[in-house]
Structure 1
Amino acid sequence: MNVVDFRIEQAVGYITLNRPDKLNSFNRHMALEMQDALKACETDLVRCVLITGTGKAFSAGQDLAEAVDPNGPGMKRILSEHYNPIILAIQDLKKPVVAAVNGVAAGAGANIALCCDIVVASRSASFIQAFSRIGLIPDSGGTYFLPRLIGHQKASAIMMLGDKISAEEAERMGMIYKYFEDEGFMNEANKIANMLASMPTAGLAYTKKALQWSLTNSLSEQLLNEDTLQQRAAATEDFNEGVLSFLEKRVPVFKGK
């Protein structure tokens, strides 16, 4: 049985975590299926990716029964073979990735969401860095992304205290882009994904790369990288279409090329 559903509709690759009876907690089976789904999103048929969960949760993080199973993969393999490849795949995809957090996002589940390019949540969703409650440290890129999103002091307190952060509070502190009312939440998330899928894909990919580089570059280095990426963007068909549509006063039709 698939525990990750994948489909492509209108150039959006939908990845849906599907272990609702376990609050979409990750085991090896689900982690590897998610890696396969992210790999499938590399096709040109996909111009945006949307990740969400089935049922009441986005993901409760690691399935702890597997983590303590003496016959299981063990913590070393769980990180190196399960979560780290997922985080890197999301970051390396040359297209925007939207996390539609439909419910609780805890532990690695929260950090998978936070590594996405745009994070939206339903009002009833929440984010929990639950690691400290069981004697672990935040993983899956949590210590990298969260302090960059909300600052060191806030991130430190949230991670050490294990606070439950509501969607409204997450938006207010800059952890996520926006939250929507539960009713109609997926419609709003789909609108964002569909809009991104209709935009200049290469330009969005270059923007994603520039933002990633900005985290470690000096200003001078970033200006040089912006120059390089801008020349690549200017060489795309979508740039020509964007300019022509502006001059001709019509809606552009981008092809992702």
Structure 2
Amino acid sequence: MNYQTVELHVDGQAAYLYLNRPNSLNAMDVQMISELTGALKEVVTSGAKVLFISGRGRAFSSGGDIKTMLSNNDPEAFFPIMEKIKELILTLYTMPAITVSLIHGAAAGLGLSFALASDYVYVQTNSKVAMNFIKIGLLPDGGGHYFMKKRLGEHQAKHVIWEGENLTPEKALQIGLVDAVFEGELEDQIQEAKQRIETRPLQAMIATKEIYTKQGLAELKETLDLETVNQSNMRKTADHLEGVKAFIEKRQPVFNAR
């Protein structure tokens, strides 16, 4: 299949998926979300046992496309978009393959939620990761609450979400948000990870993954539904409008809990 916003290569039991909107730092618009889902389903059909996910250009993904958000305030469009995000995350989370997200540049907001749905998350030095919805008066979506809780525990996850800070790779590794920090070129790391993973009994690894996936699936689905409802509510608040305005004006927002 031909894609405009993603790039997919399948080579035997390994697949390589790149987010490919480099001019927007791979911000995830509706088209990219749909094409990512289609590409993931194509990987499943291909029978590939390992999937490597990264981004073209200077970043993994800067998150949801705020320009799209600003140009479309139609509440009727919100819920279909959230359903597309839900389908994307569930498709990645339940894939019968070992998935590896390799972050370079930045992974923020929805981009970070997407990366955290993988089995392994590697971050290149001098990159940054951020669950930064709070800066525009919103809360994580894309299952961000579920994945943060799984990796950090509820207490620490709340604080990381509430602070919305840019975390260095070293800090993200220290708290358990990511699995490894790597130096050097992205493609070299992909090949190194490929060689390491493919020497393992992949069928046994995938069986273990499927057990945990089935145990956690109901909670993830509930989390995605709760995020949709609460995100819809937050989009109507004065704090969100102020957060977006401050973002456009490149200043600190002034929130007033309304």
TM-score, reference length from structure 1? 0.77
Conserved 8 A contact 1:49-1:96: yes
Aligned length: 215
Would you say 1:88 and 2:98 are equivalent positions?
no
Task: State the shift of 1:150 in Å.
Answer: 1.2
Name the counterpart of 2:111: 109
Name the counterpart of 2:56: 54
**In structure 2, how many angstroms separate the alpha carbons of the residues matched to 1:188 and 1:69?**
38
SS in 2 for 1:58: coil
Name the counterpart of 2:78: 75
Name the counterpart of 1:29: 31
Conserved 8 A contact 1:103-1:124: yes
Distance 1:100 1:31, change over 3 A: same
Conserved 8 A contact 1:51-1:98: yes
**In structure 1, how many angstroms separate the alpha carbons of the residues matched to 2:47 and 2:72?**
42
Conserved 8 A contact 1:24-1:58: yes
- Deviations 1:119-174 (CA, angstroms, capped at 9, x unpaired): 11101221111111111110101100102101222211111111111111111111
**In structure 1, how many angstroms separate the alpha carbons of the residues matched to 2:70 and 2:217?**
37
Task: State the shift of 1:193 in Å.
Answer: 2.8
Q: Which moved more, 1:8-17 or 1:26-35?
A: 8-17
Within 5 Å, give how 1:30-179 maps onto structure 2.
30-70=32-72, 74-81=77-84, 83-179=85-181
Would you say 1:191 and 2:192 are equivalent positions?
yes
Conserved 8 A contact 1:67-1:74: no
Conserved 8 A contact 2:26-2:61: yes
Task: State the shift of 1:59 in Å.
Answer: 0.4
SS in 2 for 1:24: coil
Distance 1:193 1:156, change over 3 A: same
SS in 2 for 1:207: helix
**In structure 1, how many angstroms separate the alpha carbons of the residues matched to 2:173 and 2:26?**
23
| Max Rg structure | 1
**In structure 2, how many angstroms separate the alpha carbons of the residues matched to 1:43 and 1:195?**
24
Task: State the shift of 1:10 in Å.
Answer: 4.4
Conserved 8 A contact 2:94-2:213: no
Name the counterpart of 1:243: none
**In structure 1, how many angstroms separate the alpha carbons of the residues matched to 2:31 and 2:196?**
32
**In structure 1, how many angstroms separate the alpha carbons of the residues matched to 2:27 and 2:186?**
22
Structure 1: runs of 5 or more not aligned: 218-257
- Deviations 1:167-186 (CA, angstroms, capped at 9, x unpaired): 111111111110011x2343
**In structure 1, how many angstroms separate the alpha carbons of the residues matched to 2:167 and 2:215?**
27
Distance 1:203 1:44, change over 3 A: farther
Percent of residue pairs bearing the same amino acid type: 27
Task: State the shift of 1:98 in Å.
Answer: 0.4
Q: Which amino acid aligns with 1:135?
A: G
